[in-house]
Structures are given as structure tokens and as C-alpha cells.
């Protein structure tokens, strides 16, 4: 048997890191960020506490990594060609991909909204989230200006609030919010 290559070690490392993040996401969304310890995460992931620190320096770093990954995916969904310009078809696709993400990653979104109302945790993640959201806000504002909305900044707030509100309601009470119908309705509103 030949020794592992650098690429194989990196694949193993990334796989283990993803496993830890998945376990942490599960535990954080189920029990809350402050109620979960590094020991619990390590135990559930099947690794030692010491090995956990080879992947993440702290629980704070772990939660930041989980949240940033989700925000990065949202930005990629909004601007898939990375040209900094939001086209109409990209906005419609973004709506669809956002709702698809909610269906597939309900625990992530539940955690995200739970963290939004916890000031100590928000202090950890807010600076980076604000930086990530700047290009998003700029693209959306330009889009609504180009589409001729009377108050593009207001429309951006309406659009964002509508999506965020539906997601938040859905993750806590999915039986009352028919996501497919709501997605279709939002697309009807903005597909002009």
C-alpha cells in the first residue's frame, strides 16, 4: 500500500471538517449555540476533543464558518456569473434557489434566525456578514433602479423582508406555510 498523497490528506481533512460542521449544525439548531459544548460536538462526530481543535480553534470559529458558508452560497446564487450585475433571470433564479435551500437546509435557516436575536453571537458574525451583504445590496439596488421602481431602496427592503419573513415563518412552522405556493407568488410579483 502506497503512502497517501497530499491531495488525499486534504480530501480527508475537508471531509472530516464537513462532518464536524454537519454535526455542529444539527446540535446548534436542536439545542441552541450556548447549550452545546465542544465535547458534545466531538463525541457526536466520533473524534476526540483535541482533534476538534485541529479543525476549529473554538466553538466561535465553528459557528462563524457554518454561517459564512451559508451566506457565501446565497451570494453565489444571486450572482452566479460573478459579474456584479443582477439580471432579471438571475433574480428569478435566486428566488427559486433560496426556497430550494430552505427546503433542503431547514436546520441551517433555523439556526441562522435563532442567532439573529442573540447579541453576543451576532457580535461574532455581524462584521463578516455585513461585508458579504454589501455587494448583494448594491446589486439589488442597481437592479431595482434599472427596472424602474419608484423607490429602489424601499423595493429592495420589501423584497428582502418578504423572503426573510417567509423563511423565518417556515422554519418554525412549516405546516402553515406552503413554500412552493409562496415561492410561485413571489416569482409572480417580481417576474415583470
- Give per-residue pLDDT as tens, 123-179: 888 887 788 778 889 999 999 999 999 999 999 999 999 999 999 999 989 999 899
Q: Are residues 162 and 91 part of one domain?
A: yes
Domain hosting 37: range is 1-56
Q: Are residues 147 and 81 part of one domain?
A: yes
Cα gap 57→21, rounded to integer Å = 13
If one counts the domains in the chain, the total is 2
- Would you report the helix, strand and coil content of the chain in percent, each value rounded to 5? 80, 0, 20
Q: Are residues 140 and 63 part of one domain?
A: yes
Q: Are residues 64 and 12 part of one domain?
A: no
Compute CA 46 distance to the chain's CA centroid, rounded to the nearest angstrom: 25
Q: What is the CATH number of the domain that holds 182?
A: 1.10.357
Query: Which of 24, 41, 56 is the last residue in one of the domains?
Result: 56
- Say if residues 163 and 186 touch (Cβ distance below 8 Å): yes
**Each residue of 77-105: pLDDT tens digit?**
888 898 999 999 999 999 999 999 999 99
Three-state SS for 109-131 is: HHHHHHHCCCHHHHHHHHHHHHH
Tell me the angle at which helices 119-146 and 59-78 cross, rounded to the nearest 10 degrees: 10
Amino acid at each position: 500500500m502506497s503512502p497517501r498523497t497530499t491531495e488525499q490528506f486534504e480530501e480527508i481533512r475537508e471531509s472530516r471538517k464537513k462532518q464536524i460542521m454537519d454535526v455542529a449544525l444539527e446540535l446548534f439548531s436542536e439545542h441552541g449555540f450556548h447549550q452545546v459544548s465542544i465535547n458534545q460536538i466531538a463525541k457526536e462526530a466520533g473524534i476526540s476533543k483535541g482533534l476538534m481543535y485541529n479543525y476549529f480553534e473554538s466553538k466561535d470559529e465553528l459557528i462563524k464558518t457554518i454561517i459564512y458558508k451559508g451566506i457565501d452560497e446565497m451570494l453565489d446564487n444571486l450572482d452566479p456569473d460573478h459579474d456584479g450585475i443582477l439580471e432579471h433571470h438571475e433574480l428569478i433564479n435566486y428566488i427559486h434557489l433560496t426556497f430550494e435551500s430552505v427546503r433542503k437546509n431547514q436546520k441551517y435557516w433555523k439556526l441562522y434566525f435563532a442567532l439573529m436575536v442573540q447579541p453576543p453571537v451576532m457580535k461574532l458574525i455581524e462584521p463578516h456578514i455585513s461585508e458579504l451583504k454589501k455587494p448583494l445590496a448594491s446589486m439589488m439596488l442597481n437592479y431595482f433602479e434599472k427596472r424602474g421602481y419608484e423607490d429602489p431602496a424601499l423595493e429592495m427592503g420589501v423584497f428582502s423582508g418578504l423572503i426573510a419573513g417567509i423563511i423565518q415563518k417556515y422554519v418554525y412552522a412549516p405546516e402553515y406555510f406552503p413554500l412552493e405556493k409562496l415561492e410561485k407568488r413571489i416569482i409572480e410579483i417580481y417576474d415583470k
